[in-house]
């Protein structure tokens, strides 16, 4: 069974996003909720997770696991999106309407992964 090109696009997006955690870690450190410990370790860990799960999408034997893990990861990342709505400092200057739109986008990304199960 061949996979559609947009599955590989999704994989590329997660791999790229994961790499950005290492290239621009300060970007991710700025949006970490204060109540979470070890911000730097969590940024790098989430970057590794995104890279590995993106790669996993490309292999039939790993695809289902990667999809479930991506959906779980996106659900966990919702806490960052809600945290960014908590105040001006947490929003890092991003307009509130964009922060609000990111929440349904997160669910859209979950659905995009789900359709490949």
Give pLDDT tens digits for 52-110. 999 999 999 999 999 999 999 999 999 999 999 998 888 989 999 999 999 999 999 99
Query: What is the DSSP code (8-state) at residue 47?
Result: H
Instruction: Report pTM.
Output: 0.93
| pLDDT tens readout for residues 25-43 | 999 999 999 899 999 999 9
**Distance between CA atoms of 49 and 95, rounded to whole angstroms?**
28
């Amino acid at each position: 069974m061949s996979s559609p090109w947009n599955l590989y696009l999704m994989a590329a997006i997660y791999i790229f996003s994961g790499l950005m955690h290492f290239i621009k870690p300060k970007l991710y450190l700025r949006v970490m909720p204060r109540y979470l410990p070890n911000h730097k370790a969590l940024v790098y860990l989430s970057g590794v997770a995104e890279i590995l799960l993106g790669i996993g999408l490309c292999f039939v034997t790993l695809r289902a696991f990667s999809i479930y893990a991506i959906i779980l990861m996106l659900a966990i990342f919702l806490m960052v999106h809600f945290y960014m709505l908590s105040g001006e400092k947490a929003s890092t200057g991003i307009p509130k309407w964009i922060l609000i739109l990111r929440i349904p986008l997160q669910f859209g990304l979950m659905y995009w992964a789900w359709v490949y199960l």
